[in-house]
Amino acid sequence: MPALYNLARTRVLPNNVAIIGVDQANGTADGWATHLHKMLESFVGNANSEFNIDAIDEGLWQGLAGRMSYLQGDITKPEIYQSLSTALSNVCKQYNTRGNVIFYLAVQDRFFGDVVDQIGQAGLADQQEDEDGVPHRWRRVVIEKPFGHDLASAQALNVRILRTLQEDQVFRIDHFLGKETVQNIMAFRFANGLFEPIWNRDRIDHIQITAAETVGVEGRGKFYEATGALRDMVPNHVFSLLAMVAMEPPATFDAAGIRNRKAEVFAAMPPLRPQAAVRGQYGGGDVLGKHTVPYRNEPDVSRDSNIETYVALRVEIDNWRWAGVPFYLRTGKHMAERLTEIAIRFRPAPLSPFATTSVEALRPNWLIIRIQPDEGIALQFDIKRPGPSVQLATVQMAFSYADWFPREPNIGYETLLHDVMVGDATLFNRADMVEAAWRVVQPVLDSWAQDGSGLAPYASGTAGPDAADRLLEQDGGRAWRDIPQQRFVHSNGKNHQ
């Protein structure tokens, strides 16, 4: 709803839109709208929220609320879909929606197949096409993660869904890909002749991708006990970032061209060896000055749980561009800082011409793409420190979105929802991409299922377990970038974390 509100505020949301909520709980359209309004109010003045607004435009909200209706029923039963069919016919006449429908499946993943089956059996997935095969009454389905829990379940879910829907009707959504900096990776790489010639194994030593969270499981113990950090974050969020960095230039910047290039990245990734994976679980500690309890003391979590809340991986891509360049991935909860970034380390200078230093003393060149917080890009390099002697200092050139563009409330879903409306699948994964991602991590999942040992503890409020450090140390003494990070220095003279 925050995303729909933003689309309406920026006048991107079409006027002929109606919103139908479906839930098992008793309710009314007015009650649903009131509940959502209260949720939006909680964001007002909340600087810690990506949807930081000063006030709700009540006139705009009333315009949205007036187009909302509510249906109560069991989504596994055909009766609710008969009611939904009638409701869709009514709003089509009232708001001239032309029969176009987006089904947004904000349901538990175990219901994905059931709901799509019911949509098909009720005839709600049927499209009408013109003579050229272009739908002029389309039906699209948005599916939240997780899309499967392993390779076999993802394959089975794809088979089941594609019995009812065409691939171009399915939008497997990942909100990470709606963030501006993620989308900007392609523009940064392919619109600038400066970077692409050095974007390869000849000049890049390794790449680190970090998705660190300060929150714990936040009352979702049952979900997390069945999922864990790897399933929750890696095949979707983290691999999506990896694909944007590693893909070849597409021949065309349309959905097919870009998704084909991403699929090639996953196809070139050999299945992970269990030795290339570290799993950890947070204990007690202090996060942002607040004391936290161990994961095993969280509600709905087993007291002897072996579920990981942290995972670090060493991934390879076997193609000409990336052969021999390791990609180190890590993600975890209750860490020292909320941080999502891609850090590219370049190979060092082959020799040092300076008498007062050496190659070993030179600090590495890093290109840092910050996804959140404080979206931006920074380049780290060495210069001569002012003074009569030759001494080197490491500096940064940093670009921040906040310095160049007005900060608009944006939660990442706005672009994705708009893309669904216009039928642009560029930022959504295809069936083959989902299955390829699961194929890469499946050996690790199998190994962990057979052997419950090897769970490395780490204190809340830290950068993760020591075992993750050793994963890099054994590769020629490499090391993770620090968490928390050094500050970006902005052109306005302020330091931002």
Known catalytic residues are 237
Residue found under tokens 């780290």: 380
**Which residues, 6+ apart, have CB-to-CB distance to 370 below 8 Å?**
181, 339, 340, 341, 376, 377, 378, 488
- Long-range contact pairs involving 129-136 (C-beta distance under 8 Å, separation at least 24): 136/98
Q: What is the DSSP letter of 157?
A: H
Q: How many residues does the chain have?
A: 497
**In 3-state terms, what secondary structure has residue 34?**
helix
* Maximal C-alpha separation, the chain: 83
Cβ contacts of 260 within 8 Å, gap of 6 or more = 250
β partners of residue 277: 313
- Of 268, 400, 257, residue with least CA distance to 327: 268
Alpha-carbon torsion angle 372, 373, 378, 384, nearest 10: -140
Output DSSP code: residue 280: E
Residues forming beta bridges with residue 23, ordered by sequence position: 72
Secondary structure percentages of the chain, helix, strand, coil, to 5: 35, 20, 40
Alpha-carbon distance 311 to 279, whole Å? Answer: 4
- Cα–chain-centroid distance for residue 144? 11
* 480: DSSP letter: P
Pairing mode of beta strands 277-287, 290-292: antiparallel
Please state, as a whole number, how many other Cβ atoms lie within 10 Å of the Cβ of residue 288. 10
Q: Report d(CA 349, CA 347) in Å as an integer.
A: 7
- Spell out the SS3 assignment of 216-278: CCCCCHHHHHCCHHHHHHHHHHHHHHHHHHHCCCCCCCCHHHHHHHHHHHHHCCCCCCHHHEE
Cis peptide before 373 (omega within 30 of 0): yes
